[in-house]
Amino acid sequence: MTRQLIEQAADIIAGSRLTLALTGAGISVESGIPDFRSAGGLWSRYDPEEYATINAFRSDPRKVWNMLREMDQVVNRARPNKAHLAMGELEAIGCLHGIITQNIDNLHQAGGSRNVIEYHGNASTLSCLWCGRKYTAEEKRDEAPPTCQCRNVLKPDVIFFGEAIPEEAMRRSYELASSAEALLVVGTSAVVSPVNTIPSIARGNSAKIIEINMERTHLTDSLTDIFLQGSAGEIMPLIVEAVKEKKQSS
């Protein structure tokens, strides 16, 4: 990573009338949340077919909550890191107009971002699949598993395998991506469908793609204009400072 690449990325963002970010598990690793697919992630201990499908939850929600309880403890301890805070600041100065996140940890909002599209839902609220009542995760934290007034086990408002992506999230993300002039791809390899179409939709509008990842991805040599290799917690604050300097001097 060179200073020149940071400056180039800042030039793109400062000159863009609509800048989006697409984020994945990699941005939250520095907050202590392992990628589910990593060696230390949930899928190394819990088979997704057994624990992460909507059919598994409907058939045995108490079993699924063995995995969900572990996930909840990790997410509940996490705090926004420098990358989340930098994105909140970038939004506050008018240079980031939306975040499309695959994460369910609420850390973008905790980091100050307001315009967040949660593609895979959010773990901070719970719903009853049977009667429709809703609760905050906090008010049910002492129940194992959390139970509705109707005595059925509650489900966190995250998208399980086999469930549809929320229609409004898809509509808004495609609408924004097709109008974007710049797209930050941060902490995601963008291989999970259908969110992996966002970069190509943005590119279809001639958006510049700025990728921040620890490793190269399939996007790096096909769609990415600027690849910044390294930790989002280190790189995002540098970009924000460079953008602020350009805004002040213009």
Q: Which of 84, 108, 120, 218 is catalytic?
A: 120
Taking residue 214's Cβ as centre, other Cβ atoms within 10 Å add up to: 12
Check if 108 is active-site: no
Q: How many residues are listed for the chain in this entry?
A: 250
Residue 77 has φ and ψ, to the nearest 5°, of -80, -20
Quickly list DSSP for 185-223: EES----STTGGGHHHHHHHTT-EEEEEESS--TTTTTT
Checking 58-67 for CB contacts under 8 A at 24+ apart, the result is: 58/129, 61/145, 61/152, 61/153, 61/155, 62/145, 62/153, 65/144, 65/145, 65/146, 65/153, 67/42
Cα distance between residue 66 and residue 72, in whole Å:
10
Query: What are the catalytic residues?
Result: 120
